[in-house]
């Protein structure tokens, strides 16, 4: 293994559970997720050529989306810059959270200054929480949110993320 933390088999099983009673759109999302898990398994086995073949077929079937493009970038990094790939995968989410939190810090601070979130919000803590939520939204398939559908993500933010930031922080 080369540093990926979750087992593809576990993710595939969770993804398959979405099929039970799902609508046609849900089944297409699940099918795409299974294809992405298949290519991830090939990447974990250092079989980049097969991963690229799987991604090429996925692009033909499902069109371009940010997740397929992201995996294509990972494959390119793995092929073209193996040392950098090893470093990036080794750092993983642990290195991503602080960087993403730093990015969101200014937006959370501005929302606090504009009175859009609760005045007792700890900006550093909230920015890290937003970063963690975004990582989860973008990397873990769920039953009710399609991370590739902008309206679905906006609705999720309006219903859950923003109300959480507007609430009084508790200890």
Report phi then psi at 149, rounded to 5: -105, 110
Q: Evaluate if pTM is beyond 0.85.
A: no
Report the C-alpha gap between 146 and 25 in whole angstroms: 10
Q: What pLDDT was estimated at residue 111?
A: 92
Q: What pLDDT was estimated at residue 17?
A: 46
Within 10 angstroms of residue 104's Cβ, the number of other Cβ atoms is: 19
Joined tokens for residue 155: 């609705």
Report yes or no: 141 and 33 within 8 Å, Cβ to Cβ: yes
- DSSP alpha helix (H) spans, 1-122: 8-17, 24-44, 48-62, 66-80, 82-113
Q: What pLDDT was estimated at residue 29?
A: 65
- Averages of pLDDT over runs of 10 residues in the chain (171 residues) are 41 46 57 72 77 84 79 81 69 67 90 93 94 77 76 86 91 71
Q: What pLDDT was estimated at residue 25?
A: 57
Q: Which residues of 5-44 are buried (b: 16+ CB within 10 A; e: fewer)?
A: eeebeebbebbeebeeeeeeebeebbebbbbbbbbbbbbb
């Amino acid at each position: 293994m080369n540093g990926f933390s979750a087992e593809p088999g576990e993710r595939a099983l969770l993804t398959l559970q979405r099929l039970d009673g799902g609508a046609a759109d849900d089944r297409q999302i699940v099918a795409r997720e299974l294809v992405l898990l298949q290519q991830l398994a090939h990447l974990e086995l250092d079989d980049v050529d097969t991963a690229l073949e799987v991604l090429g077929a996925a692009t033909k079937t499902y069109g371009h989306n940010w997740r397929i493009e992201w995996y294509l970038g990972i494959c390119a990094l793995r092929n073209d810059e193996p040392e950098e790939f090893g470093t990036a995968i080794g750092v993983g989410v642990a290195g991503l959270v602080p960087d993403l939190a730093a990015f969101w810090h200014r937006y959370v601070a501005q929302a606090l200054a504009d009175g859009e979130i609760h005045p007792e919000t700890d900006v550093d803590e909230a920015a890290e929480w937003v970063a963690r939520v975004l990582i989860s939204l973008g990397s873990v398939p769920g039953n009710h949110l399609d991370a590739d559908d902008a309206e679905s993500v906006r609705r999720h933010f309006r219903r859950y993320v923003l109300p959480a930031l507007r609430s009084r922080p508790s200890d």
